[in-house]
Amino acid sequence: MLLLLAPVLVACSTTEDSSSRREPDPRPPSSAVPSAPAAPSSTPPVEPAPSTTAEPGPVPSDGTPRRATLSIPGLDLSGLVVVPYEGFTDDAPGTAIQDRGRAASPHGPRGGTGPGGVGNYQVTAHRLSSTRAFEFLPSLRRGDRVHVEAGGVRYTYRITATRETSFRSPRSLREQRAAVPGRPGVEPTRAMITLSTCATIEDHAAGNYWSDEFDNPEHRIDKIGVLVAVQ
């Protein structure tokens, strides 16, 4: 009899009462739950807003006209004497200075400012006569540096543009001699430079042989620059 009951007892041991059945907890014990790493934020870190204040530029001079020397490394030109005088570009006194192999810098009511001054520092020199100081000026490129030394200070300008001036156009001359080159009547806020020489070769190639009383051709080639350093 005992042999017959054994299978029945075993069968009962594998059968649970439905009223007492509990669903297994799918979660592992709390001690086995690994700590999850913090989810990366989808929001990029906040960077400080860019400053709206302009970076301080070089301090210009007071604009006093004075004797200076000019150097242009890109043209292998150094130590060109620049003589200041009261007048306007390529007038009789300025032409006489250029005829002596120097550069002329007009100042006064119809001229420009002095070395490093706010406004238009105007420097003119011959290209084909005397010492041909500005023979290669037309090849000066944007970004090239021009150094002017005066009163123990070196002013460095960066070339930014090229202009053409016509001696036969009053408007063109006003633009060349303006405190802001090319913009007559505009109040200057920066120290700028105009380097000017004749366009005789270009005019003659175009069949233009006009010249004024000082033998200047109609057109001038002007290189414009802005002050970028003072040492």
Residue 123 clears pLDDT 50, i.e. is over it: yes
- Share above pLDDT 90 across residues of the chain, in percent, rounded to a whole number: 74
Catalytic one of 107, 126, 147, 219: 126
Strands 103-107 and 77-86: parallel
Per the domain annotation, does 48 fall within a domain?
Answer: no
By residue range, what is the domain housing residue 141?
68-230
pLDDT at 12: 38
Q: Alpha-carbon distance 112 to 133, whole Å?
A: 21
Tokens 């989808």, residue located: 42
Residue 10 clears pLDDT 80, i.e. is over it: no
Q: Where residue 57 falls among pLDDT bands split at 50, 70, 90?
A: confident
pLDDT at 50: 38
Q: Alpha-carbon distance 142 to 157, whole Å?
A: 11
Residue 76 clears pLDDT 70, i.e. is over it: yes
| Tens-digit pLDDT profile for residues 169-185 | 999 999 999 999 999 99
205, two tokens: 């190639």
Which is higher by pLDDT, 164 or 5? Answer: 164
pLDDT at 185: 95
| Tens-digit pLDDT profile for residues 204-223 | 999 999 999 999 999 999 99
| Tens-digit pLDDT profile for residues 134-179 | 999 999 999 999 999 999 999 999 999 999 999 999 999 999 999 9
Q: Does the reported pTM lie above 0.85? A: no
Per the domain annotation, does 15 fall within a domain?
Answer: no
Q: Where residue 49 falls among pLDDT bands split at 50, 70, 90?
A: very low
Tally Cβ neighbours within 10 Å of residue 153.
Answer: 13
Catalytic one of 107, 147, 198, 219: 198
Residue 11 clears pLDDT 80, i.e. is over it: no
Helices (H), the chain: 2-13, 92-99, 170-177, 200-205
CB 60 within 8 A of CB 83: no
The average confidence (pLDDT) of the chain is 84
Identity (one letter) of the amino acid at 152?
G
Per the domain annotation, does 32 fall within a domain?
Answer: no
Reported in sequence order, the residue ranges of the chain that DSSP labels E, i.e. its strands, are 68-72, 77-86, 103-107, 119-124, 145-150, 153-166, 191-198, 219-230
pLDDT at 51: 38
| Tens-digit pLDDT profile for residues 187-209 | 999 999 999 999 999 999 999 99
Q: Where residue 56 falls among pLDDT bands split at 50, 70, 90?
A: low
**Residue range 66-95: mean pLDDT, rounded:** 97
Identity (one letter) of the amino acid at 12?
C
Q: Is 198 a catalytic residue?
A: yes
- DSSP secondary structure letters along 63-102: -----EEEEEGGGTEEEEEEEEEES-TTSHHHHHHHHTT-
Per the domain annotation, does 58 fall within a domain?
Answer: no
Domain count, the chain: 1
Q: Alpha-carbon distance 222 to 192, whole Å?
A: 12
**Residue range 82-86: mean pLDDT, rounded:** 98
Per the domain annotation, does 168 fall within a domain?
Answer: yes
CATH no. for residue 131?
Answer: 2.40.260.10
pLDDT at 48: 46
CB 225 within 8 A of CB 193: yes
Per the domain annotation, does 4 fall within a domain?
Answer: no
pLDDT at 21: 44
Per the domain annotation, does 171 fall within a domain?
Answer: yes
Per the domain annotation, does 12 fall within a domain?
Answer: no
